[in-house]
A and B are shown apart, each in its own frame.
Chain A
Amino acid sequence: MVSAIPTLVIVLAGVFILIRLTGDPARLYLGDFATDEAVSSLRSEWGLDRPMRVQFVDYLLSALRGDLGISLKFRRPVLSVIAERFGASLELALASMVIAVSVAVPLGALAALNRGKLLDRILGLAVVLGQAIPRFFLGILLIIIFGLTLYWLPTGGSGTLRHLILPAFTLATPTIALLARITRSSVLDVINQDYVRTAKGKGLKGRRILIKHVLRNALVAPLTVATVQFSQLIGGAVIVETVFSWPGLGLLAIESVYSRDFTLMQGIVLVFTILVILINVLVDWTYSIIDPRIRLSD
């Protein structure tokens, strides 16, 4: 966990510098018709006229105290703006994960049990398609089919379970493909293990063998990957949230870029980075529990 601190500082420094290379935030904030006096006055008010390293150290010290600054666009503390949207992103990511696991695991197992048969090939093709299709394209496609042609689901927005279905499925699709592929190879590995043959020899029924002996052991790999994927589902929701007008952190990140709200941008990147680090630590910890041969000190 301590080793994650340099990563955090490096990511923050990168974002801090890059944002400032994209132009003068004060001029961009005040717009096309701003006078030079107004721009320099605002630069001074925001502390942008100080050397960049001073600004950065100041920012780091404030961040340690939990103060990420004031959002230039919303004129409120960055943390409170992020907190408002975090729930929506978490909801979408959790729904996507549930969809991904509950669709991918049966599909992967089915493909493995029908290895080399037509069903395996069809599922293999679907997996390739699921990984290759861009999320924005899939999102628009689903809106056209389910929102504009069949009128079954809302085209965007949030508030009800019906609003959640299309964005969650769109976000989940590449994860479904990935998990299905991993489940398939994992099941194929396990299916040839001695204990499975022993179970067959004992005369256990196929379904019991599949659930108790094969899937139970084969699920370790896909579930670990699913945990790692979770941070990507939160961070990767930028496009999906925009297409479906889902009011989460991804959409907020886009809004902050368009409005040149550099304090908010920094805050969002910080939150994403901490989230990824935390999930990675959690994954390492889970590994050590699942497989005692792995120790965190390794």
Chain B
Amino acid sequence: MISNHKRRRTANQIVSSNRRVLKMITNTKATIYRMLLLVVALLTSTAVAQTLTVAHSVFPATLNPLMTTVAAEESVALAIIEKLVVFEPEAMQPVPWLLESWAFKSDTELLLTLRDGISFSNGEPVDAAAVRFSLETWRRQPVMAHSIVGLEDAAFEIVDDLNLLIRTSRPVVNLINTLARYGYVVPPAYYSEVGDDGFARAPIGSGPYVLASQDAGSRVVLERNPGYWRGEPGFQQVVFRAMSDDFSRAAAIEAGEADIAYLLSDTSLARLRNTPGVTVHSIQGLRKFIAAFNANMPGGEPLQDPRVRQALNHAVDVQTIVDIVFDGEATALGGAFATSGEFGYSKVAAFEYDTEQAKKLLAEAGYPNGFPITLAYTAGRYPKDQEVGEILSSYLSAVGLTVTQRPLEWGQFAAERSAKTLGQIYAFGLLFPPDLGETFKYMAFATDAPMIDWPDEWLQLYSQSETAVVPEDRAQLYGEMLEINRQNPFGIYLFSPNDAYATRSTVTGFQPRQDQVLLLYDVRPSN
């Protein structure tokens, strides 16, 4: 007989044993649960590892590309909203993106044909109606007034869902380049609902990524658009970190906190080139610097003689400025105010640095002892602009000119440039669209353009170029105009600084672009 006490004890032992088993099971469950959590965490960390971090120069004030001309802001927007046409990175030739093709039906009619089956991430179709809406929205933005010249009264006619005809009242020869620069396509129903500013805060497009969140002043986070028409984008997430200081962007890429660093100055490049796992991409940019002539203002009379203008080009050793001031990270423009990335560029004989030749030309023009001149330049607007201004002054003094320097803050410089009171020579830089026609139009006809008398022959060629729809014809005309500008310089042609970026070995497919816009679709994780 087993006593009740013993039975109870045995029962207790069984219960206790069961509890231990239960505890073991519970522990095992907990362990499995923990392991599952670990796996999830690992998976999550893999997902996080698929984040592309860009050390960017700005926190975009707007994500509406129809309202900004700032390339850094466009770079963020372009991951969300796409263009009809893009410039291919190296030669800056326009290639179709949302478009399947384009065709000039006449000098004033351009037919755009869209790719079939593309939708915005909210489901609206990318069709001719969306393109018309986008072009009309772009055309009414005050900040775009300069870019719509020739399109003010253009008609955007829908032919069918995929075809749109742009009909202009006169030939607009750079129309495709304009579309490659500004031709963003937005979803019309959503845009109409939220308006310009609402769209700027919460944009929707057809691009590889969609907006996930914005942390004011700090970062913009994008997430993969799973239905992207070109196929899966490379990353689960893209983070644009706003780092306005150039050193901070360089430090972020060096420390491995960023995968791409946007626009670095030459001072950071040497260190980054020696950093394992970091690649520096330095390409000639589109910004061009010139010391322009105001020959038609008081005191500018000597500059009316083309020999004097040539002499001043011979007086400045631009290559030395490039080598010393920019550590080689720039390109001397040579004999033309043009860069090789621009449409219509052709090589023109460079001005040799030759002070004897400069003095000889000055003497021939009747100024053997030089003449007094005011040299204005920007201070703090562009990297090293003040140093360049001071060096220019030394070079001009060396051939006999008496130079009064005027380093100016950008606001005052811009105001005086418009009022034509800067000085007989003024040095500054401009980032033109990659088409020489834009440079010529600004330099000869803008209200704040240099004051010189343009040769009749040049003006005739320009007039012809305005209606030369065939690109080869226009390029030919631009070549001839560059030659005339070599004989009759409208300024001292200086240099074009390189645009430098850096990437880590964690990514591949990055291609620097002369228009300073990031196109992230091709960027992929390297593994």
Interface residues of A (CB under 8 A from B): 22-24, 27-38, 41-42, 45, 71, 73-76, 84-85, 88, 140, 143-144, 147-148, 151, 154-159, 242-245, 247-248, 251-252, 254-255, 259-260
Q: Mark B217-250, 1 if CB is under 8 A from A, else 0.
A: 1110000000000000000000001111101100
CB distance A148 to B218 under 8 Å?
no
27 contacts between A and B (CB under 8 A): A22-B409, A22-B411, A29-B143, A30-B143, A30-B145, A33-B147, A34-B145, A34-B146, A74-B61, A88-B218, A154-B255, A155-B252, A155-B257, A156-B245, A156-B252, A157-B218, A157-B219, A157-B241, A157-B243, A157-B252, A159-B215, A159-B218, A242-B244, A242-B245, A245-B245, A247-B215, A259-B61
Restricting to B172-217, which residues have a CB under 8 Å from any CB of A? 196-197, 200, 215-217
Interface status of B418 (Cβ within 8 A of chain A):
yes
Interface status of B415 (Cβ within 8 A of chain A):
yes
Q: Mark B53-66, 1 if CB is under 8 A from A, else 0.
A: 00000110110000
Query: Known: A23-B414, A147-B255. Is A247-B143 also a contact (CB below 8 A)?
Result: no
Interface status of B446 (Cβ within 8 A of chain A):
yes
Bound complex: CA A84 to CA B61 (Å):
13
CB distance from A25 to the nearest CB of B (A): 9
Interface status of B454 (Cβ within 8 A of chain A):
no
Interface status of B404 (Cβ within 8 A of chain A):
no
* A23 cross-chain contacts in B, Cβ below 8 A: 410-412, 414-415
Besides A35-B145, A245-B244, 18 other A-B contacts (C-beta < 8 A): A30-B145, A32-B430, A33-B146, A33-B442, A34-B146, A74-B61, A84-B216, A140-B247, A143-B251, A147-B255, A148-B251, A148-B255, A155-B251, A155-B252, A156-B251, A156-B257, A252-B217, A259-B61
CB distance from A15 to the nearest CB of B (A): 14
User: What are the 9 tightest A-B residue pairs by CB atom distance, in nearest-first order?
Assistant: A23-B411, A247-B217, A38-B145, A22-B411, A33-B146, A84-B216, A155-B251, A247-B218, A245-B243
Bound complex: CA A45 to CA B141 (Å):
13
CB distance A243 to B146 under 8 Å?
no
CB distance B248 to A260 under 8 Å?
no
Contact-residue size bin, chain B (C-beta under 8 Å from the other chain): 35 or more
* A28 cross-chain contacts in B, Cβ below 8 A: 410-411, 414
Say which residue of A31, A140, A157, A244 sits within 8 Å of B257 (CB atoms).
A157
* B446 cross-chain contacts in A, Cβ below 8 A: 33
* B411 cross-chain contacts in A, Cβ below 8 A: 22-23, 28, 260
* B248 cross-chain contacts in A, Cβ below 8 A: 143, 155-156, 243-245
* B16 cross-chain contacts in A, Cβ below 8 A: none
B416, closest chain A residue (CB): A23
CB distance B197 to A75 under 8 Å?
yes
Say which residue of A32, A73, A157, A243 sits within 8 Å of B247 (CB atoms).
A243
Bound complex: CA A275 to CA B12 (Å):
72
Query: Known: A22-B411, A247-B218. Is A36-B247 also a contact (CB below 8 A)?
Result: no
Bound complex: CA A124 to CA B26 (Å):
62
Looking at A151, A155, A247, A252, which has the most chain B CB atoms within 10 Å of its CB? A155
B412, closest chain A residue (CB): A23
Looking at A33, A37, A74, A254, which has the most chain B CB atoms within 10 Å of its CB? A33
Bound complex: CA A42 to CA B142 (Å):
8
Interface status of B320 (Cβ within 8 A of chain A):
no
Interface status of B254 (Cβ within 8 A of chain A):
yes
Looking at B59, B254, B255, B409, which has the most chain A CB atoms within 10 Å of its CB? B255
Bound complex: CA A185 to CA B110 (Å):
81
Bound complex: CA A244 to CA B415 (Å):
33
* B44 cross-chain contacts in A, Cβ below 8 A: none
* B216 cross-chain contacts in A, Cβ below 8 A: 84-85, 247
